[in-house]
Amino acid sequence: MKIHLILFLITLAVSLTVRADKGNETYFFRTVNYQQGLSNSAVLSIFQDNEGLMWFGTYDGVNCYDGKDIDVYRSDFSTNLSNNVIYRIRQADNNCLWITTGAGQNRFSPALRRVVGTYDLPDGNCLHSNRNGNAWIIGYDWIRYYNTHYDRFVEVERPPMVIDNLMTRAFVADDGKLWLFPNSSTGEIYQFSVDSFDQDTLSVSPHIFTYTFHSK
C-alpha cells in the first residue's frame, strides 16, 4: 500500500510539473515584512487597486506596496484616517479607495495621500464595491448605496431578511448590482440595483429581484 501511495504522489508531482511547463508561466514569490517597511505583521486586509498597487490593512495603518517600496499611512493630521486598525480596503470612485477602519468608513485618495471623505454610519456594517467603484454598504437591518453626486450613502428599502454574515454574504457585480445571500438556510438570493449611482435625488426606489436556489 505504501509503495502504491508513493508512486501515486510521484506521478501526480510529475503531472503537475509538466502542466506548469506547458503553460509557459513563471511565478515569483517574494516575502513582504518589516524589512521592506511593513508597519505591522497583523495583516487584516489585502487588496490590489486599479493601478496594480498592493494595499495591506494592518493593526497599525495602511501600507501601499509598489513591488519595491512600502508607504505607510496612519491616523495623523496629514492623512486624517479615522483609526489605525484597518479591516478592509476596496476600490472607490475617482481612483480612490474605501478604507474600513476601527472607527468608520474613509474614502482615501492615493494621489493626495489623504482621506477625502469620512462617513458617520451605524455600527455593524460592511462595505462592498466593484472595480468601477460602485459601492453598497449593508447592516443587519439596512442597506445603502453610495451616491457620487451627493457624496453620501443613501438608504434604500429592503425586504425582511436576516443576514448572518455581513462580509461573506454579499458582493457587487461588474454592472453595479448588489447580490445578497442572507443566510445559508433560506435558499434565497436578493439582487439590488439603482438606475444610476450619480442620481440628482436622494429619494430612490431600488430594483429588487428575488431568486431561489438549493439550500445546500
Instruction: State pLDDT tens for residues 15-34.
Output: 444 444 455 678 778 787 77
CA distances from 124 to 35, 37, 105, 106, 143 (A): 35, 32, 12, 15, 12
Please list the residues that pair with 191 across neighbouring strands.
Answer: 179, 209
3-state secondary structure of 119: strand
pLDDT of residue 18: 44
Determine how β-strand 43-48 pairs with β-strand 54-58: antiparallel
CA distance 73 to 57: 10
Residue 64 parent element (H or E): strand 61-65
Question: In this predicted structure, what is the pLDDT of residue 180?
Answer: 94
What is the number of residues in the chain?
A: 216
- Under 8 Å between Cβ of 43 and 56: yes
Helix (H, G, I), strand (E, B) or coil at 104: strand
pTM of full prediction above 0.75? yes
Detail the DSSP E strand segments found in 104-160.
104-109, 114-119, 125-129, 135-139, 143-147, 152-156
C-alpha span between 194 and 154 (Å, rounded):
11
What pLDDT shows up at residue 164? 86
d(Cα 180, Cα 107) in Å, to the nearest integer? 23
Model pLDDT, residue 215: 61
| Per-residue pLDDT in tens (0 to 9) along the chain, 216 residues | 555 544 444 444 544 444 444 556 787 787 877 777 888 888 999 999 999 999 999 999 999 999 889 999 999 888 999 999 999 999 998 789 999 999 999 999 999 999 999 998 998 999 999 999 999 999 999 999 999 999 999 999 999 888 888 988 999 999 999 999 988 666 889 999 999 999 999 999 999 999 987 766
Supply the pLDDT for residue 25: 76
